[in-house]
Amino acid sequence: MSKPYEPKDIEKKWQETWEKEGAFCVGTDRSKPKYYVLLEFPYPSGQGLHVGHPRPYTAMDIIARKRRMQGYNVLFPMGWDAFGLPTENYAIQNKIHPKIVTENNVKHFKEQLKALGYSFDWDREINTTDPAYYKWTQWIFLKLFEKGLAYKSEMPINWCTSCKVGLANEEVVNGVCERCGGEVVRRVKSQWMLKITEYAEKLIEGLDDVDYVEKVKVSQKNWIGRSVGAEVDFVISGKEDKLRIFTTRPDTLFGATYMVISPEHPLIDKYRSDLKNWDEIVAYREMAARKSDFERTELVKEKTGVVLEGLTAVNPVNGKEIPIWISDYVLMSYGTGAIMAVPAHDERDWDFAKKFHLPIIEVVAGGDVEQAAFTDVASGKLVNSGFLDGLEVAEAKKKITEWLAEQGIGKQKVNYKLRDWVFSRQRYWGEPIPLVQCEKCGFVPIPESELPLMLPEVESYMPTDNGESPLAAMTDWVNTTCPCCGGPAKRETDTMPQWAGSSWYFLRYTDPNNKEAFASKEALDYWMPVDWYNGGMEHTTLHLLYSRFWHKFLYDLGLVSTPEPYQKRTSHGMIMGENNEKMSKSRGNVVNPDDIVNEFGADSLRTYEMFIGAFELSAAWSNEGVRGCRRFLERVWKLRDMLTEEEGYSAALETKVHQVIKKVSLDFEGLKFNTAIAAMMGLVNEFYRVGSVARGEFRTLLLLLNPVAPHITEELWELAGYEGRAYMQEWPVYEEAKTIEEETEIAVQLNGKVRATIKVGIKEEQDSVREKVMELEAVKKAAEGKNIVKEIYVKGRIYNIVVK
RNA sequence: GCCGCUGUUGCGGAAUUGGCAGACGCAGCAGACUCAAAAUCUGCAGGGUUCACGCUCGUGCCGGUUCGAGUCCGGCCAGCGGCACCA
């Protein structure tokens, strides 16, 4: 009898062996095809890993290990996205420098990851808080600044009252702070912004050339929110200025019965002296300004507004004079901050018109505009619209847009919902923005030779209520000289957001120690793009979009060789607690992987995480489920007692083995690990049923299972006396012809209901199958006294007889 | 309100994309081994009905297409996630 399976000993032994042998360091042989497997590097939090982390990690480890066995030169790196608020908060509470906190957390994470046996190339480990790394984050920022894509702007931002920090639009969820759930209010602050909007079109177009799961593409497109319409200038009666609006429905121009501008629209102040109800207007503006984002979304529906008495506009198509209103349902930050209102064909305008008794004119027939706005653009023809009458909506759009252009009062225009990226954080633990402000020269980049601009050592990292970064209190550091004129200057004291470091980290992995560049051209040319990137859906409109933006920018500068950073993007589902609720400390349902490794072993944990269910869907944790996977590995372990000398496959199981190789090979590629493992379990069950395993069969099983459970398979490989190491072997191949059974069981149906099963040859023709079918008692009985109307034979599946 | 996903057994989940629903695993039941238990091995196992061969119902609900529907079409219901006055 063989010795018992002791994962603790085995796993430690092989982890040490792999490290000693440099098993997973990237090879230098560049004649091999490359494969770059990437997963989202973690934020090293104080809590350490939870069982959610290993799911995507194990999946990608399987892909990386399989690719190596398939002969690829594989890059499968790991690092730390370590700047961020939780570390800073922990540092404040415990009076430990965030650098030390980060070091400790990284150490803990790394131990945990190593205990799971991942095949990362640890020689390429990176850390976004390392000055040698953030030097290049700052460098890229300076390039953005140089090209005019980074600018400082006085603007209302989302201010988290609890974190005391400005947030990007993407970080505000349901009107509250994504991280802490604190209230978010509008606050006008001077902020660094990145012009991601300049890349809106490219970010959409680029999606056509990459292999992302469809829902990621859809989310990004929706977030960018492209819409095609027209800009139209309306004359303001008796004034020089025109009121420019954006609309996606220029075809309804004849139905515009009033206009609405945003409360913040500059025209209001400009024509203050013309406005007879100024007090009322001011009161409304103040009310609108006081609302936080939360309140604005909270209050929805009921429309409010004030008419501007003393100013009117002229509808350019019919010369009619129409009133101008202000209302907070028109946003200054989208389009031109002004709209033409067509209540008959827009729900919001309809609500507003009903409330304030404004005229509703139908211009597209097909609905009842007294009852509701008619917004269907697919049906309906234009009416009450002069030269547009009788046209379909699409035709009318085209014709009116041409007409507007001829008249010089409008043109086609594309707008995006995407806003520029608020890039300043009033915090300590982030990359310093490498600029100084000089009274004479304005903002001046610090010279490249002075990069990295190091974070200074400070006494207190406490955020302040006045909205200044803790760095602002460091006068020694803040006061400096202008690199341009040598005069006195102040350093920028805001730092970069957490998303900065992760916007280009995949480039650094290709050449992590380069001191001359963020990565050499040669390394980038060889490794990029990332062949397969897996990550969470929650990053779709944040990290994933940001990093595509940075990469496209670098591409336009000729600094990277591919227009898109990631060729393929997949997503994993969350691991839920045993009660099927999200795992969290407060719910008390968090499972620590260390405990699972101790009780069952890393291989059991890895196998279970892959067996738990469809990879892209969420799944509830079950300790009993882990036990089942452990049981499976035990059964594999004991197969060694059943080995025969046969180096090939036994006649009895040859077909089965080929089928399983095929199934596992294909399922791994489709991230269908659960069914791949089920197939291997089935094969093991077959071995037990037969009572023996040929050495060749065992060999194949170990190789198929190796990416999932690398330790036990490596140990068994050695114990069974096969040559070399399992992880170095070639991936098993199958012969298509040998996956097909000679004989198979098919169902015999009568009117679609199964009445019997018979064995037939796989290639057997209908005539010969028919003979067997007609002899069946069930068929004879059913056919008696009835007509056979039709017979359908699907090879290897069914034989269906239709009787009447 | 809009977009996306999901609904199959006591539970987690399969089903070659229109061809024997419930693979594989968990929990359960029975047997073997054991003084006994655990572990392990071998079986059984959707519901109803029948001593049984069977028959019949069954993939959230209603309807349709088809020789045949978990899968396709139309109309609902429920749950999860995202967006939310974007003109």
What is the rounded CA–CA span in Å between residue A231 and residue A726?
65
Do A529 and A36 meet the contact criterion of CB atoms below 8 Å apart?
yes
Rg (CA), chain A: 34
Q: Give the dihedral of Cα atoms A327, A328, A329, A330; nearest 10 deg.
A: 80
What is the rounded CA–CA span in Å between residue A104 and residue A81?
14
pLDDT at A327: 93
A581 CA from B40 C1′ (Å): 35
| Helix and strand element counts for chain A (H, E) | 25, 32
Residues 6+ apart with CB under 8 A from A629: A600, A604, A607, A608, A611, A677
What is the rounded CA–CA span in Å between residue A710 and residue A718?
12
- Which window residues (102-141, chain A) lie with Cβ within 7 Å of strand B? none
User: Is A246 within 7 A of strand B by CB distance?
Assistant: yes
Q: Take residue A627 and report the two structure tokens written for it.
A: 């036990």
DSSP string, A671-697: T-HHHHHHHHHHHHHHHHHHT-EEHHH
Residue type, A602: A
Mean pLDDT across chain A, nearest whole number?
A: 90
Name the one residue in this structure whose structure tokens are 């028109």.
Answer: A330
What is the rounded CA–CA span in Å between residue A245 and residue A207?
30
Q: How far is CA A2 from CA A157, A533, A601, A710, A719, in A?
A: 67, 41, 19, 20, 10
Query: Which nucleotide's C1' sits nearest to the alpha carbon of A249?
Result: B87
Residues of chain A with pLDDT under 50: none
User: Is A780 within 7 A of strand B by CB distance?
Assistant: no
Q: pLDDT tens, A361-411?
A: 999 998 888 888 888 887 788 999 999 999 999 899 999 999 999 999 999
User: Is A289 within 7 A of strand B by CB distance?
Assistant: no
- Which window residues (341-360, chain A) lie with Cβ within 7 Å of strand B? 346, 348
A315 CA from B52 C1′ (Å): 88
What is the rounded CA–CA span in Å between residue A161 and residue A489?
30
What is the rounded CA–CA span in Å between residue A435 and residue A138?
10
Q: Which nucleotides of B are covered by protein (CB under 7 A)?
A: 3-6, 12-16, 19-21, 23-27, 39-43, 55-56, 67-69, 80-87
- State residue A137 phi and psi, 5-degree precision: -65, -45
Query: Which nucleotide's C1' sits nearest to the alpha carbon of A611?
Result: B25
- State residue A532 phi and psi, 5-degree precision: -150, 120
pLDDT at A761: 84
- Which window residues (145-184, chain A) lie with Cβ within 7 Å of strand B? 169, 173-174
- State residue A175 phi and psi, 5-degree precision: 80, 0
- Return the SS3 of A199: helix
What is the rounded CA–CA span in Å between residue A247 and residue A252?
9
Query: Which nucleotide's C1' sits nearest to the alpha carbon of A681?
Result: B24
A7 CA from B10 C1′ (Å): 32
β-partners of residue A582 are: A576
- Which window residues (668-707, chain A) lie with Cβ within 7 Å of strand B? 672, 674-675, 677-678, 681-682, 685, 688-689
If one counts every other C-beta atom within 10 angstroms of the C-beta of residue A743, the result is 10
Closest residue by C-alpha to C1' distance, nucleotide B2: A222
Q: How far is CA A206 from CA A36, A196, A217, A503, in A?
A: 20, 14, 10, 17
Do A499 and A487 meet the contact criterion of CB atoms below 8 Å apart?
no
Residue type, A599: E
pLDDT at A294: 53
User: Is A328 within 7 A of strand B by CB distance?
Assistant: yes
Using CB atoms within 10 A of its CB, is residue A480 exposed (0-12), middle (13-18) or buried (19+)? Answer: middle
Q: Which of A337, A298, A335, A293 is nearest to A167 (CA)?
A: A293
Q: How do beta strands A693-694 and A643-644 pair?
A: parallel
The DSSP letter of residue A488 is: E
User: Is A227 within 7 A of strand B by CB distance?
Assistant: yes
If one counts every other C-beta atom within 10 angstroms of the C-beta of residue A481, the result is 12
Residue type, A494: D
Q: pLDDT tens, A184-214?
A: 777 777 889 999 999 999 999 999 999 999 8
A666 CA from B67 C1′ (Å): 33
A801 CA from B59 C1′ (Å): 25
Residues 6+ apart with CB under 8 A from A457: A97
Using CB atoms within 10 A of its CB, is residue A258 exposed (0-12), middle (13-18) or buried (19+)? Answer: buried
- Return the SS3 of A236: strand
How much of chain A, in percent, has pLDDT values that exceed 90? 68
What is the rounded CA–CA span in Å between residue A216 and residue A548?
13
Do A179 and A88 meet the contact criterion of CB atoms below 8 Å apart?
no
Do A85 and A45 meet the contact criterion of CB atoms below 8 Å apart?
no
DSSP string, A743-777: EEEEEEEETTEEEEEEEEETT--HHHHHHHHHH-H
Per this entry, what is the length of chain A? 804
Q: How do beta strands A488-491 and A532-535 pair?
A: unpaired
pLDDT at A803: 81
- Which window residues (487-526, chain A) lie with Cβ within 7 Å of strand B? none
User: Is A778 within 7 A of strand B by CB distance?
Assistant: yes
Answer yes or no: is the ipTM higher than 0.90: yes
Q: How do beta strands A79-80 and A126-127 pair?
A: parallel
User: Is A587 within 7 A of strand B by CB distance?
Assistant: no
Query: Which nucleotide's C1' sits nearest to the alpha carbon of A338?
Result: B87
DSSP string, A550-605: HHHHHHHTTSSS-S-SBSEEEE-PPEEPTTSSB--TTTT----HHHHHHHH-HHHH
User: Is A753 within 7 A of strand B by CB distance?
Assistant: yes
What is the rounded CA–CA span in Å between residue A497 and residue A452?
17
Q: pLDDT tens, A414-439?
A: 999 999 998 988 889 999 999 999 98
pTM of the model: 0.92
- Return the SS3 of A157: strand
Query: Which nucleotide's C1' sits nearest to the alpha carbon of A250?
Result: B87
A533 CA from B20 C1′ (Å): 40
- Which window residues (611-640, chain A) lie with Cβ within 7 Å of strand B? 611-614, 617-620, 622, 624-625, 627-629, 631-632, 634-635, 638
Q: Which of A485, A493, A529 is nearest to A510 (CA)?
A: A529
User: Is A305 within 7 A of strand B by CB distance?
Assistant: no
User: Is A759 within 7 A of strand B by CB distance?
Assistant: no
DSSP string, A601-639: -HHHHHHHHHHSS-TTS-EE--HHHHHHHHHHHHHHHHG
Q: Which of A637, A630, A641, A644 is nearest to A701 (CA)?
A: A637
User: Is A747 within 7 A of strand B by CB distance?
Assistant: yes
A262 CA from B87 C1′ (Å): 12
pLDDT at A459: 74
A582 CA from B4 C1′ (Å): 20
Q: Which of A419, A422, A416 is nearest to A158 (CA)?
A: A422
